[in-house]
Amino acid sequence: MSIKKKLSNILELPKEIVLNLPIIIITGNDEISVENYKGIIEYSTEKIRLNSTVGILKIEGKKLILKQMTSECICITGLILKLEYVL
């Protein structure tokens, strides 16, 4: 186990903050929010790929739109059909 992971467990700190892990919130099949993403790799109305500290997050669907985007969080709307991590 890495030092940061051990420290997070010992001090009972949230892993997503200490390890900079992405937080993914899915609301139904029409909205997804991703915090702690590193950047957008690919964007179209049918596929969005996001870079993160644990790999590439691939979102597939129909009529996908970037509803809101900041340096820390991105919100995507549309019909979400598939969510996949690619290491």
CB atoms near residue 43 (< 10 Å): 13
Banded model confidence at residue 13, pLDDT cuts 50, 70, 90: confident
Residue 5: pLDDT band with limits 50, 70, 90: confident
Q: Would you say 20 and 14 are in contact if contact means Cβ atoms under 8 Å apart?
A: no
8 A C-beta contact, residue 15 and residue 5 = yes
**Does the 21-86 domain belong in CATH 2.60.40.2000?**
yes
pTM of the model: 0.83
